[in-house]
Amino acid sequence: MENKRDRIMNAALDRFKQYGFAKTTVDEIARQAQVGKGTIYFYFKNKEEILEEIVDREMIQGFAAISQAMVEEPTILKKLNKILHVCFEYFHNNEMISKVMAMDQGLVMSLVTEKNREFQKLSISWIRTLLEQGRNEGVFREMDYEKVGYILDSLIRSFHYLHYFDLELHKPGEIPETLFELITKGLVKE
């Protein structure tokens, strides 16, 4: 059973996807969630905080999918490949991320910048840990894994931004394999 907070967030997400963040009002969210406007303000300070909570929820679900992929795959190379695929599939197919970001790019990006930094640090840490594990297993050569994590995270993010702004030249499903090949040629010991 959905609690009121979740109902508000789901209603807001539906409105944001359909009409954009800027054009959605708190009154419309309340009406769709079938709660009073005061109930929304009990749970959230404003519409921006609702969006931030939705972004948190979506990113946590994405990281959970990545975490699951790391557990499922037996070798470090398969883990890396699977993570790239999950990143592209989850974040490109996620309606909140693709539709809402695309409709209100500047506004939404300014609101989620701080959250983005938090998730970027987490992503870099995960990548660094994976690469260090690969080094410890003798698969990857020694490198500055913090920088490599930053570069890989930035590359993956850049493809998502191209998707949000409808500037893709290749389908998202075509990118992970080529990116994996490029990465492993630079990381794997010869």
Domains defined for the chain, CATH in brackets: 1-44 (1.10.10.60), 47-187 (1.10.357.10)
- Of 186, 165, 170, nearest to 109 by C-alpha is 165
Q: Quick one: average pLDDT of 20-36? A: 94
pLDDT at 123: 87
Contact indicator for 53, 160 with CB cutoff of 8 Å: no
Q: Quick one: average pLDDT of 37-51? A: 94
Q: Quick one: average pLDDT of 39-47? A: 95
Across the strands, what pairs with 140? 188
pLDDT at 39: 95
As a whole number, the mean pLDDT across the chain is 85
Q: Which residue has the higher pLDDT, 181 or 101?
A: 181
Q: What gap in Å lies between CA 97 and CA 160, rounded to an integer?
A: 9
Cβ neighbours of residue 30 closer than 8 Å, sequence gap 6 or more: 8, 11, 36, 37, 39, 40
pLDDT at 104: 67
pLDDT single digits (tens) 106-149: 666 666 667 778 888 988 998 999 999 999 999 999 999 999 99
pLDDT at 97: 65
pLDDT at 106: 67
Across the strands, what pairs with 188? 140
Q: Is the pLDDT assigned to residue 32 strictly greater than 70? A: yes
Report the 10 Å Cβ neighbour count for 108. Answer: 22
* Secondary structure class of 189 (helix, strand, coil): coil
Q: Is the pLDDT assigned to residue 1 strictly greater than 60? A: no
